[in-house]
Amino acid sequence: MKIGLVIYGSLELVSGGFLYDRMMVEYLRRQGDQVHVIGLPWRSYARHLEDNLSAGLIRHLAGLDLDVLVQDELNHPSLFWVNTRLHSQVRYPIVSIVHHLRSSELRPVWQNRLFAKVERRYLRSVDGFIFNSRTTSQVVAEVLGAAWEQPNRPWVVAYPAGDRLNPQIQEAEIRDRAMQTGPLRLVFLGNVISRKGLHTLLAALAQLSGDSWELAVIGSLDFEPRYARAVQQQALEAGLSHRVHFEGALNGAELADTLINSHVLAVPSSYEGFGIVYVEGMGFGLPAIASLGGAASEIIADGRDGFLVPPEDAHTTAKCLQILLRDRSRLAQMGTAARRRYLAHPTWEQTGRQIREFLLTVVAKSR
């Protein structure tokens, strides 16, 4: 297949959505498919809307020799009208990868209503969907309304995987780690942006007494610098600085080493379209503390292999942390359950195969 992929910036950007796109591209290329990546420049939302007036972008996309054009839904403000114009000029179908909708995030209602209008128009402009979760597919169905029932618009749910770090740990090691004396070692994994809920986690930790825990914050501080400074100040003012360590972005062996030496993954995001980090943590036997906002409930069984808390709820988050602090046997039990949940989850190889089979079906139907 000859496949085009439209993204913002580069596939090397560090986030769950870009990891999904990158793993997909690597799999397709291993199968012998040609994948041409079209990286649009990162700009403001308003400037992205102006891309729809770009004759050069239309000419470029229309001139590509493709079997299918895949677009990351993140690019929706740049493409909602572009796609409408493309349909009259090209024969290839357009498929959107939807990680989560911008209008699903926590922000003022009037802003999300504006984003939802643009997203609805974009979603109507594509011929098929790749969803990262059932939750995301249901949200898109609600946004589209009657248009969701449009015939011959195929879709697939292809779950992200968590095996890129190849975690190697036995259940006996998870139990031994949980029962060791010393503080509860927590890890927050994700870019330090407001949606990921680090401020909620810090507020929860401030409610715990003593030096019974420590937190490693693994993620870039550059995506929302003002927010990153605010949470660092929050930790300082709460007297937590000596137990909260901002490690920056880690990958590969460094990240794996941090995870294998931790007890709990805590990322109480306000919303996750899926939450790859939860599965990655589970691979190392880490119960996850996650939010009820989004699709985390498709990964985590509350009270068995992790905890699900309401968005922005520091009090409930603190109660869950307290359970694991006081009961190391429960921590061990939940850690081994998390590892088993990871082992039952699809691998990136299986996810890539599912996506490729779906794209082959879409291409065949378009001919």
Mean pLDDT across the stretch 338-356?
97
In this predicted structure, what is the pLDDT of residue 150? 64
Distances (CA, A) of 251 to 128, 166, 247, 259, 274: 33, 12, 11, 11, 20
Determine contact, residues 83/125, Cβ cutoff 8 Å: yes
For each of the domains in the chain, give its residue range(s) and CATH number, in order of start. Answer: 2-161+347-366 (3.40.50.2000), 171-343 (3.40.50.2000)
All residues at 6 or more sequence positions from 347 whose CB lies less than 8 Å from its CB, including other chains: 161, 163
pLDDT score of 108 more than 90: no
| Apex 203 CA angle, 162 and 178, nearest 5 | 50
pLDDT in tens, 128-179: 999 999 999 999 998 888 777 666 689 999 999 999 999 999 999 999 999 9
pLDDT in tens, 298-327: 999 999 999 999 999 999 999 999 999 999
The length of the chain in residues reads 367
Q: Kindly state the tokens that stand for 43.
A: 């700009």
In this predicted structure, what is the pLDDT of residue 14? 63
pLDDT in tens, 221-255: 999 999 999 999 999 999 999 999 999 998 899 99
**Average pLDDT, rounded, for the chain:** 93
Instruction: Output DSSP code: residue 294.
Output: B
Measured from the Cβ of residue 88, the count of other Cβ atoms closer than 10 Å reads: 7
How many angstroms separate the CA atoms of 21 and 346, rounded?
Answer: 16
How many angstroms separate the CA atoms of 103 and 109, rounded?
Answer: 9
- Beta strand pairing call for 244-248 and 184-189: unpaired
Mean pLDDT across the stretch 249-274?
94
Burial label for 133, CB within 10 Å (0-12, 13-18, 19+), is buried
Cα dihedral sign, 252-255-261-266: negative
How many angstroms separate the CA atoms of 187 and 197, rounded?
Answer: 13
How many angstroms separate the CA atoms of 258 and 220, rounded?
Answer: 16
Burial label for 366, CB within 10 Å (0-12, 13-18, 19+), is middle
